Amino acid sequence: MRFAGKNVLVTGAASGIGRAIAILFAREGARVTIGDINAAGLAEAAAMIGDTATPVVYDAEDHASCRALVDAAAREGLDVVCNVAGMLKWGPTEDFAVADFERLLRINTTSVFVICKAALPYLLKSRGNIVNIGSTSGLRGMIYTAGYCASKHAVVGMTTALAAEYAARGVRVNAVCPGHVDTPMTRQTPPSGDLDWDMIRRGMPKLVDGSCAPKDIAEAVAFLASEQARKATGSVLVVDGGQLVS
Ligand SMILES: NC(=O)c1ccc[n+]([C@@H]2O[C@H](COP(=O)([O-])OP(=O)(O)OC[C@H]3O[C@@H](n4cnc5c(N)ncnc54)[C@H](O)[C@@H]3O)[C@@H](O)[C@H]2O)c1
C-alpha cells in the first residue's frame, strides 16, 4: 500500500500502459484520476478499478482540456502525476506528412509540458512527483520514426530540466523509457511500402524472455513515484528487455 491516501493523476489510462499504471496505483491505495480521449476505454478502466477511480475525458491536443484535467485531479490535493497518453505514427520520412509530425509533438510533448506546468503548484504544496513516459526512441534514433523520436527525446529533456529546476523545492521528476510493449499502439498495421525490416529488427530485446507487458512498465513507474525512490530525481529508467544494450 505504497500510495495509501495519495491522489494520483494518470493520463492515457483507457488502454495499455496507462491502464496498467492506474490499476497498480489504485491497488496500492491511491485515489486515481484517469484521463483519456477514449471515453469507452476509460469507462472500462474505471469499472475495473472501482470507486477509487475518477474518469475524466480530455484531449491532449487542447491546452484548456489538459488544465481542466489537472484541476479535476487536484480537488483534494495532488501527489503524483503520470504522463502516459501518447500516439505513434511511423513510416519513411519522404512520405511522412508535416501535419503528422506536428500532431506527434502536440500529443506526446506539448501536452506533457502543459500538464506539468498546471500540476506544479499542487505538487509544490504536497512535495509530490511526476513520472513521464519516454521511450527507448527518446534515447536513440530509430528507423522510420523521426517524429516519434523527436517527441520522446523532448520528453526526456523536459524531465531532466524540470528535475533540475524543482529539486530544491522538493518536487521530483523522473521518466521511464519502455522498449517495445505489447499494447494497441504496437499492434497497428505497419505503413505500406518497401520497408527495411532487417534494420527494424535490430532493436529487438536481447534479454531472455525480454518482451515487455504493460505491467512491467507500471512497476517501474510505481517505484519512481514511491517513497522508495525518494532520492531519485532526473532519473531516466530504461525498461526494454535489453533492446538498447549492444
Ligand atoms: N507500447 C510501446 O511499445 C511503447 C514503448 C515506449 C513508449 N510507449 C509510450 O507509452 C505511452 C502509452 O502507450 P501504450 O503503448 O499504452 O499505447 P496505447 O495506444 O494503448 O495507449 C495510449 C493512450 O493514449 C491515449 N491518447 C492518444 N491521444 C490522446 C489525446 N489526444 N488525448 C488524450 N489521450 C490520448 C489513447 O486514447 C490511449 O488510451 C505512450 O506515451 C507511448 O508513446 C509505448
Give residue 72's pLDDT: 98
What predicted TM-score, i.e. pTM, was given to this entire model?
A: 0.98
**Ligand 1 pocket member 211 (CB < 6 A):** no
Q: Which three cell numbers stand for residue 91?
A: 513510416
What are the tens digits of pLDDT across the range 4-36? 999 999 999 999 999 999 999 999 999 999 999
pLDDT for residue 193 is more than 90: no
Task: Kindly report the protein residue whose alpha carbon is nearest to atom 23 of ligand 1.
Answer: 12
pLDDT for residue 203 is more than 90: no
Give yes or no: 166 in active site. no
**Ligand 1 pocket member 84 (CB < 6 A):** yes
7-239 placed in CATH 3.40.50.720:
yes
In angstroms, the CA 83 to CA 1 distance is 22
pLDDT for residue 83 is more than 90: yes
The residue ranges of every structural domain in the chain are 7-239
Crossing angle, helix 98-105 and helix 146-166, to 10 degrees? 20
Cell numbers 469499472: residue: 47
Q: Which residues of 106-136 are buried (b: 16+ CB within 10 A; e: fewer)?
A: bbbbbbbbbbbebbbebbeebebbbbbbbbb
Give residue 138's pLDDT: 98
Which member of 58, 122, 148, 166 is catalytic?
148
CB distance 179 to 244 below 8 Å: yes
